[in-house]
Amino acid sequence: MAGRRRAWPGVSGRPRRAGRREVTVVIGLGAAVLVLIALSAAVASHSVAREQALDEAERTTRRMADLVVAPLLAGYVAHDRDDADDLVEAVRVRKADGYLDDVVVWSDDGTVVFSDRPEEVGRRPQPTPRNVAAALAGRTTSMLEDDAPEPRRVGGTEDDQDGPPRYVDVVVPLRVAGLTPLALEAYYDYDRVDRVADDLLRQSLPLVVVPLLTLQLVQVPIVVSLARRLVRHEAERARLLERALSASDRERARLSADLHDGPIQDLAGLGYAVGAIAPDVPERHRALMAQVQQTLREAVENLRGLMADLYPPHLGGAGLDEALATLVAPLREAGTDVTLHVGELGPLGDDTTVALYRVAREALANVTKHARASHVEVSAERVPPAHGRGLVRLEVGDDGAGIDPARLHRRRDEHLGLRLVGDQVAALGGRLSVAPRPGGGTRVHVELPVGEVGEGVPKPP
C-alpha cells in the first residue's frame, strides 16, 4: 500500500517526501551558515587589512618625513639645485614600486611648497584641507580616499577617466630647522589594502570553513539515516492505523450481519406471528395487542437503523445518497442545521463510492470533533465529462471554528484521519483539498475520476 500512495494536494505530502524535505532543510541551513561565516570572514579580514594599511602608511610617511624630506627641504626652499634634485630623485625612487603615488609638502599658510609635480608648487587651495591643517597643528591623520590627490583633483585632469581611484591619504607634521611648521602629505595606492585583505582571507578562511564543512559532511549521513527512520516509523504507523480501521470496518460488518440475521429476523418473525393471531384476540385485549405490534415494529426499525449506522447499506448510486443521509443524522439530532444535496450520480465503481463515503464520514466526524459549527452543507454531484473524463465531486462545508492551514501541514502522527482518506483518494487518481471556507469555517472538497478514463485508474491499496 505504501508503495502506491500518492501525495494529495491541500493536506499533506507523503512521508517519504517529508523526510527528503527535512534532509534538504538541514543541509540547506548548514550551507547557509557556511556562506554566512565566509562572508563575515571576508568583511573582517578587509577591516583588519584597512587598519594595517593605515598603520603602515603612517609609519612609512613619518620615516620619509624624518629621513628623506626634512634633510633636503631647507636647501630646496633656498633654491639649492643639488638638494632640489636629490629631493625629487628620492621621491621618484620611493614611487618606483607603485605603492607611493604622490608626495606634497605644505607650508603653514596652506601653500604647496613641494610636489613631485612642479605645476602644483605655489598653489594654495581654499580653505586649507582639514587634514593638512591638523598636521600643521602637530597631528598625524590618515584616511581612505576615493578621490585623486588634492593637487591633481584641483588641477582636475588625470586619473578620472577609469572610475574612482582609491588612495590611502596620510598627512604628518614636518619639522625643518629654520622653517615654519610644515606638513608632509603622501598618497598610497589602495590596491595594496585589497591584496592584504585577500591574503588574510586566504589564510583565515580555510581555518574556519574546513572544520565546519567537515562537521556538515559528517552530519549528512546521520540526518539522512534519522529521516529514513522517521519515514519508516511514520509509514508503519499509517499501516497499523489503516489495518486497525479495516479491522474496525470488518467488525462493524460482522456486528451488522449478526444484528440482521439474529434479533432483526427474530423480531420481524415475531411481528408476523403476532399479526397473524391479532384478529383472534378478544376485544378487551385488542388495544394491548396493537401496542405490542407497534412496539415490535419500532424495535425492528431501530435495529435496522443501528445496523445501517454500523455498516452502511450497499454503496452505489442511490446507496451513497442513503449512506450520506445516515451519516448526517447524528449531527442533525445534536441540533446542527444540515443541508444535504445529492445530485444524479449515475453508476459509480465500488472503490469510488467507498472513498467518497469515507471522506464524508471523516469530514463529518471532524465537524463534530473540531468545528463547533451551526450549519453544515454536504453535496455530491457528477460533473459532466470533459475530454472523455468525468468527475464526481463531494463537498462538506461548515461554518465552524475554521481550520488553520499551518496545522494541516504540520506533521503530527496522532492526526491521520484526513491524510488516510486523502491517500485513498489519490490512489484512485482523485484530488482532496481541505481549506478555509469563504465566509468562515472549513471546506473539504474531493474530486474523483469516473467514466471511461476513470475506470482505468488504479484501485485503492
Contacts of 29 (CB under 8 A, 6+ apart): none
The CA distance from 29 to 216, in Å, is 10
Applying CB under 6 A, the span of 22-30, 44-52, 230-238, 360-368 interacting with ligand ATP comes to 360-368
In the complex, least distance from residue 460 CB atom to Mg ion, rounded to whole angstroms: 19
Count each helix (H run) and each strand (E run) in the chain, helices first: 13, 10
125 or 417: whose CB is closer to Mg ion? 417
Question: Contact between 366 and ligand ATP (CB under 6 A)?
Answer: yes
In the complex, least distance from residue 362 CB atom to Mg ion, rounded to whole angstroms: 6
Closest-by-Cβ residue to Mg ion is 417
The CA distance from 101 to 188, in Å, is 5
Helix, strand, or coil here: 185?
strand
Question: Contact between 369 and ligand ATP (CB under 6 A)?
Answer: yes
- Phi/psi at 373 (nearest 5 deg)? -90, 155
Question: Contact between 331 and ligand ATP (CB under 6 A)?
Answer: no
Q: What is the DSSP string of 396-408?
A: EEE-SS---HHHH
Question: Contact between 316 and ligand ATP (CB under 6 A)?
Answer: no
The residue with cell 441540533 is 335
In one-letter notation, the amino acid at residue 195 is R
Question: Contact between 366 and Mg ion (CB under 5 A)?
Answer: yes
Q: Are 429 and 9 in contact (CB under 8 A)?
A: no
Question: Contact between 422 and ligand ATP (CB under 6 A)?
Answer: no
Window 379 to 398, contacts with ligand ATP (CB under 6 A): 398
210 or 244: whose CB is closer to ligand ATP? 244
Task: Choose from Mg ion, ligand ATP, none: what does 10 bind? Cβ within 5-8 Å by kind.
Answer: none
14 or 419: whose CB is closer to ligand ATP? 419
Q: What is the spatial order of strands in the sheet that 337-342 belongs to? A: 337-342, 375-386, 389-398, 442-450, 431-436
300 or 331: whose CB is closer to ligand ATP? 331
Q: Hey, which residues does 186 pair with through a beta bridge?
A: 103, 170
Question: Residue 418 corresponds to which cell in the numbers above?
Answer: 484526513
- Binding-residue pattern over the window 378 to 417 for Mg ion, x denoting contact by CB under 5 A: ---------------------------------------x
In one-letter notation, the amino acid at residue 32 is A
Q: Tell me the site size for ligand ATP, rule CB under 6 A.
A: 18
Task: State which of residues 175, 195, 407, 459 lies at the interface with ligand ATP (CB under 6 A).
Answer: 407
The CA distance from 182 to 83, in Å, is 18
Question: Residue 186 corresponds to which cell in the numbers above?
Answer: 603622501
Question: Contact between 115 and Mg ion (CB under 5 A)?
Answer: no
Task: Choose from ligand ATP, Mg ion, none: what does 403 bind? Cβ within 5-8 Å by kind.
Answer: ligand ATP
Applying CB under 5 A, the span of 98-106, 124-132, 316-324, 365-373 interacting with Mg ion comes to 365-373
In the complex, least distance from residue 415 CB atom to ligand ATP, rounded to whole angstroms: 3
In one-letter notation, the amino acid at residue 275 is G
447 sits in which H/E element? strand 442-450
389, burial (CB in 10 Å: exposed 0-12, middle 13-18, buried 19+):
middle
Question: Contact between 367 and ligand ATP (CB under 6 A)?
Answer: yes
Q: Tell me the site size for Mg ion, rule CB under 5 A.
A: 2
Question: Residue 207 corresponds to which cell in the numbers above?
Answer: 581555518
- Report the interface residues with Mg ion, using CB under 5 A: 366, 417
- Report the interface residues with ligand ATP, using CB under 6 A: 362, 366-367, 369-371, 398, 400-401, 403, 407-408, 415-419, 442
